Amino acid sequence: MDNTLLRAIPKVDELLSHPVLRTRCAALPAPVLTEAVRAELDALRMQIRSGAIAAIPDTAALCTRAAERAERMQQPSLRGVINATGVTLHTNLGRACLSARAAEAVAEAARSYSTLEYDLSTGARGERYSHAAPLLCRLTGAESAMVVNNNAAAVLLILSALTSGGEVVTSRGELVEIGGSFRVPDIMEACGAVLREVGTTNKTHLSDYERAINESTRALMKVHTSNFRILGFTESVSRAELVALAHTHGLPVIEDLGSGCLTSLEPFGIHGEPTVQDSLRAGVDIVSFSGDKLLGGPQAGIILGKKEYIDRLKRHPLTRAMRVDKLTLAALEATLRAYADGTAEREIPTLQMLGLTQNELRGEAEALCALLTARGIDAEVTDEQDPVGGGSVPAQLLPACAVAVRPRSGSVDALEQRLRAYQTPIIVRIAHERVLLGMRTLRREQYDTILKALTETAL
């Protein structure tokens, strides 16, 4: 170890008063800058001790490194990104984007006191669950509704309140694992219920359910196979048949609908996705689904169904632990209003994006491509297929368009990394040795940033 080198490390104050830091970091809070300088000098000390460097970099260079570190420290961890993957419900990028109306409702609820649990007509305590529930019932025909943190919580609550200590009959073909280790069999075990699997992976008949019912049975459960599809020789029992069987035994049918859309997706070319109304009309007693998948709202677990069961859920101690917060309720109510007003497809970003045709996307791709090629960037329009994402509608891809960019120098992986590291990070896919900008999830006001980023990184 070289002690002379260690002794030559500049002092913290020397860096802090250096013109490079004084000018570049004038706007940064002093404690942040001091911490960044200390961390930079500590890192230097380690490098010297390990013999990794043999000379001290000049002070201006150290200042630049400290400034970069300080700037990184000031960046929020949860940041906005440009989603150029074409995947509408990208779980890692936050699933649904809220509508402008929902975002404003969130801002208002965040800034001000509200009627969260206050009844204006009586001046007495009100109910948190009273906000989104009437709209949900109106839109779906459900008797009663409540909202919790997310759909995983909803399923946990339903099974805990209605089936604990008993058996739940479920088709083997529906024992799914959703991302993040949410597994139907494990959830049941955690709720103190015993899973009675019936049928086989590809086929389950009504008689399979019927044979499994005994005096310990508490419910029949249907789970939407959100993220996979069994093809070929398959058979499952319809909701109506399942309901008829359950009700002759005095049992409820529970359905985890996964995405749970309120409008048919057939016009978007997405087939076979049941709506919430389909499920309730078939007589399912309790349905749950996510707020931030195909509904296009905030993260939430929405529970709809018969009043007698929802009342039991509301009384369960777990409900308090899964309590939905006011910002979520504000966003959800505003999102649901768009459905009630008949403006959902125009207003809700998720539905807007899913509704874009390949021709519309091609028009946008050509416009963006022209801007890029005018700057000398190697770009062309390609036909692609977009997954919907969010573990919904598996095996169905939407016809789409992208702009494919090839870097003038360096690898395509390096370009992807530079775009990811950009001030406003741009998240792209790579295919056929090119970076793809998927048009479905881009907005026109983002083109300038994309243009600037690619001019700086792809030439």
Rounded to a whole number of angstroms, the minimum distance from the CB of residue 26 to ligand PLP is: 44
Residue closer to ligand PLP by CB (options 256, 285) is 256
Structure tokens at 374: 């005018």
Residue closer to ligand PLP by CB (options 65, 222) is 222
Rounded to a whole number of angstroms, the minimum distance from the CB of residue 289 to ligand PLP is: 8
Amino acid (1-letter code) at residue 3: N
| Alpha-carbon distances, residue 407 vs 73, 388, 447, 458 (angstroms) | 30, 28, 18, 5
User: By the 8 A CB rule, do 18 and 44 touch?
Assistant: no
Structure tokens at 217: 């049975």
Rounded to a whole number of angstroms, the minimum distance from the CB of residue 152 to ligand PLP is: 3
Q: What is the C-alpha to C-alpha distance for residues 372 and 452, in angstroms, rounded to an integer?
A: 9
Rounded to a whole number of angstroms, the minimum distance from the CB of residue 178 to ligand PLP is: 4
User: How many positions of this chain bind ligand PLP (CB under 6 A)?
Assistant: 15
- Quick one: which of 301, 305, 407, 438 contacts ligand PLP (CB under 6 A)? 301
> What letter does residue 71 receive in the DSSP assignment?
H
Q: What is the C-alpha to C-alpha distance for residues 222 and 255, in angstroms, rounded to an integer?
A: 5
> Per-residue contact track with ligand PLP, 36 to 65, x per CB under 6 A?
------------------------------
> Per-residue contact track with ligand PLP, 145 to 184, x per CB under 6 A?
-----xxx-----------------------x-x---x--
Q: Does 447 bind ligand PLP (CB under 6 A)?
A: no
Interface with ligand PLP by CB under 6 A: which range of 50-58, 68-76, 114-122, 218-226? 218-226
Rounded to a whole number of angstroms, the minimum distance from the CB of residue 188 to ligand PLP is: 13
Neighbour-count burial for 157-179, b at 16+ CB within 10 Å, e otherwise:
bbbbbbbeebbbbbbebbbbebe
Structure tokens at 333: 């109510």
Q: Beta-carbon neighbour count of residue 371 at 10 Å?
A: 17
Closest residue to ligand PLP using C-beta atoms = 258
H/E segment holding residue 178: strand 177-178
Structure tokens at 451: 């243009």
Where do contacts with ligand PLP occur on this chain (CB under 6 A)? 150-152, 176, 178, 182, 223-224, 226, 256, 258-259, 290, 301, 391
